[in-house]
Structures are given as C-alpha cells and as structure tokens.
Amino acid sequence: MKKSYTIFISLIVAMGGFLLGFDSAVISGAVNGIRTYFEMTDWQLGFSVGCVIFGAMAGNILAGPLSDKFGRKKLLIITAMLFTISALWSATATTYVTFVIARIIGGVGIGGAILIAPIYIAEIAPPKLRGSLVSLNQLNIVLGISVAYFSNYFLINLEGESWRWMLGVEAIPAIIYFLALFLVPRSPRWIIQKLNQVTIAKNTLVKIGGEEFANTTIGEIQRGIAKKEAKGTFSDFFSKRMKVIIIIAFGLAFFQQITGINAIFYYAPTIFEQAGGSTDASFLQAIVVGLTNVIFTFIAIYLIDKLGRKPLLIIGTSAMAISLSMATLAFNNATYIFDNTTIEKIGNTKIKTALSDLEGTTFTSQKQLFTTIETKLNNAQFLEFKQNEVKNFIAINSTLVLVAILLYVAAFAISLGPVMWTMLSEIFPGNVKGIAISIVGFFNSLVSYTVTQFFPWELTNLGPTVTFAIYAGMAILSVFFVYKYVIETKGKTLEEVQELLIKE
C-alpha cells in the first residue's frame, strides 16, 4: 500500500476543510468591528454571522448532484474560487447588504467543500485508512479555526478597521488551494461509475495501493454498479429500505450542530468577555480553544480506525454533556457587582449617570439585574448595556468557564466533529450518494444557522445560563441517540457497510 501518495492527495483535498474552518472562525474576531461599522442590531449581527450558512445550504443542495455529474475535482476547484471571491469582497464591503452577499458566496464554498472533500477522500482511501484519511478533512477544519484565532489576535490592534484585514487574509490560502487541486486525480470510483473509464481509474488506484488493491477495488465497484444501475432519486433516498441510514444520518447531522459548536467557534471571544475577561484575554483564550480542537482532532484520527466510530461518539457526547453542564453551573452561580470600579468602566456617560445610584448593590442573577436596569434606562440604552456593558459587572469562576469550554471542544473534536463526516461518507449507496449527502448536508446547515442566528439574542435576552443549559440538554439526548441507533463501520469496505445497512 502506497500511503504517501494517498496521504498527499488527501491533504490537498482536505485544504478545503482548512478554508471552511478559517472562514467559520475568523468572523469571531470581526464581530465588534462589523457591528460598529455597519451599526447592527443583535438580529442583524446574528444574520451577518449566520448568513454564511444560507450560502452553505445552497452549496449543500447543489454540490452533490453537480459532483455526480461533473466530478468531485471540478466542484472542489469551484469552491476554491468562491472562497477567494468571498474573502476579498467581504474585506472591502462598504454596506451591510454587500457584506452579507460576500459572506453568502463564501457559504456556498463551505457547503460544497464540507460535502465533496470527505466523499472524494472516502472514494480513494483503502478501508484500513479511510477513517483516518477522511478525518484529515476535520483536522484541517480545526487547523483553519485555530489559525483564524491566531490571525485575529495579531491583527486586532492594527490601526483603522482591523476587521477588514482579518477577513481578507483568507484569500491567500484560497488561492493556494485552487492551484494545488490541479495536482489531484479525479475520483477513480466516479470515473468508473459515470464514465466507465476503467483504465484511467486503475492507474490512480495502482498509485494508491498497488496492482492487487486496484483490481480488487475495481471488481467491488463494478459489482456495486451491477446491483444498482439506475440513478438514485429523492424517492429512492427516502424509501423504506433506507430507513436505518436516514435515522443515523439525520440524527448525527442534527446533534452535531444543535449542541452549539458553531456558536462556540463564531462567538468564542464574546463568550469569554461575558465571563468577565478583557478583549485581549478573550482573544488569547479563543486561541487556546483552537489549539485544543487541533490536539484532540489528532487523537480522533489516531483512534477512529482503532477504537471505532461508535465508542468515540459515546465518549465524546457524554463529555460534551458534562462540560456544558459545568458552563451552565458557572454562569448560574455568577453575581453582578456594582461598585465604584465597575461603574467607572461604563463607556456611555448617560448610562453611567443613570446607574450610579446602584453603587453597593449586588445581583445574584442576570434576570434580577436586567429587571432592575430596565426601569432606569430607555430602550436603546438598555440594549447597549446588555450588549456591551454587562460584562464589566460579572463576578464568575472564569476558570471553570474556560475549563468547561475546553472540555466541550475536546469532546466534540474526538466525536461528532470528525465521526459524523466520516460516517456520512461511508453509509450512503453510490447511486444516491450525491443526493443523500446534499439533503443531509442542507439539514445540518439549517440546524447550524438556527443555532448561530439565535445565539446573540439568547445571550442578551435569556442569558448564558439558560443558553448553555439548552445545549447541555441536547448533548444528553445525543448520548442516548448514539447508543440506540448508530452502528459500527470500522474496517469495512463501502460496499460492506451499505449491505449491512440497506434492507432489501
């Protein structure tokens, strides 16, 4: 088996994951800058951050069928172009509308890359390496997230509008990805299934695993084609024989996002500011989150083909439930102290004057605080206090919050992060794979958008205690789902997995 060539082309394809991760996390550092520049409300901010997922939904819907028709490689090249356009346009946008459009274009690239890269890698990888190689895409996603946090930290203090540099720098890796993709061969499975060009496919497969591997793989592909010659349709995907696959796919797609991972990545500095940290400290803590993500993704890559998919999911979702409960407890036990020092931190003079009579008061909950504050400020001032000033008054076990977030990210990185995409690339039959991955990817993006859109509103109106309690409840449900419904696919060929899951 020629691991070096397989790893080389897998790493190039997985660069799409790097761009996906970078694009997802870089906005976290730009939140305050774009809110000020475009004068956004909570809902506008939530939409400008989350609108990228609308683009991802379009990318999800289009990527599968188009990659079936034109090939995985061509679609990946298009995603690289979209990432480049989005980075440059969002960095130079002068109106809220054009900024949102630029973000949506990047989202289309995300929607395509997140689906097609794992499919391509799964189609070229030998069974014993497939889990690890598909997880390279997730590794690159978390590397992209981590690099974005580092980039934001070093650019935050630039004079002028530093958020433009934060967003624009993504064009550099996007252009590199575009050029590198021309070194990658077309998927041998796609070449045989769609073009019947066995000789070209064999040449690639020989480079990957040698003559015997090539002949065996071609035989399996051709037997699979003989069993399912007709092109799959939506009705085929939702047929009764696909019931088990549908439950696993939609369940994993739902719980991967509803447990709040993108809210953590998109708003990491904001969360740490809510826990009483300074802006610089919050950006540093976000970097630690990114590095934790990277380290534990490496661990997942090592374990996924040894320990298996299901054990990692059970361990990870259980730890996610525990960590989110810890964050809930930390915020629930927080108090809000009004003394001379904290009142002086208020930037708005009118708000400072209106609240000066609260000196010496301590509130035991955010709800109690907001109920009192609301009677002393007008609507605009009250909103500004909730968005920008409440962090100055909180007294909280910030170490517990940091530990909880790091444990949560580590648990996600060894479970729902890489394992969901690995399993989605394995469980669908070839004739419906394009349609299936698009439908499930669209659903995953829809849940992600819902979480991201509501998060700023939840922090402002429900408070962090209730927000994290909701995510903790969802994580507990995910443990039960994995235990009851998810099957093990470790060490099986794609054809064996599908035979196991599909009821004739």
Alpha helices in 414-491 (DSSP H): 416-427, 433-461, 463-485
Percent of the chain with pLDDT over 70: 91
Q: Are 435 and 237 in contact, with CB atoms under 8 Å apart?
A: yes
pTM over 0.85: no
pLDDT in tens, 185-224: 888 888 887 887 888 888 888 888 778 778 888 887 777 6
pLDDT of 310 > 80? The answer is: yes
pLDDT in tens, 424-483: 878 887 777 777 877 888 888 788 878 877 877 787 778 788 888 999 999 999 999 999
- Average pLDDT over every residue of 153-177: 86
Percent of the chain with pLDDT over 90: 20
Rounded distance between C-alpha atoms, residue 116 and residue 112, angstroms:
6
More confident residue, 288 or 313: 313
pLDDT of 284 > 80? The answer is: no
- Average pLDDT over every residue of 396-403: 80
- Average pLDDT over every residue of 313-329: 94
CA 403-406-412 angle, to 5 degrees, is 140
Angle, helices 433-461/463-485, rounded to nearest 10 degrees:
150
Q: With residue 167 as reference, give the H or E element that holds it.
A: helix 162-168
Numbers of helices and strands, H then E, in the chain: 25, 3
pLDDT of 297 > 80? The answer is: yes
Give the residue carrying structure tokens 């794979």.
Answer: 433
* Confidence at residue 504, expressed as pLDDT on a 0 to 100 scale: 44
Q: How confident is residue 267, by pLDDT bands cut at 50, 70 and 90?
A: low
- The structure tokens listed for 157 are 């203090």
* Confidence at residue 68, expressed as pLDDT on a 0 to 100 scale: 80
More confident residue, 172 or 140: 172
* Confidence at residue 482, expressed as pLDDT on a 0 to 100 scale: 94
- Give the side-chain half-sphere CA count within 13 A for 187: 27
pLDDT in tens, 221-262: 777 666 655 566 667 777 777 888 889 999 999 999 999 887
Report the mean per-residue pLDDT for the chain: 83
- Average pLDDT over every residue of 329-333: 86
For residue 491, report the phi and psi dihedrals to the nearest 5 degrees.
80, 0
Rounded distance between C-alpha atoms, residue 487 and residue 263, angstroms:
28
In angstroms, what CA-CA distances link 19 with 12, 80, 115, 245, 265?
12, 9, 13, 29, 14
pLDDT in tens, 65-103: 888 888 888 999 999 999 999 999 999 998 999 999 999
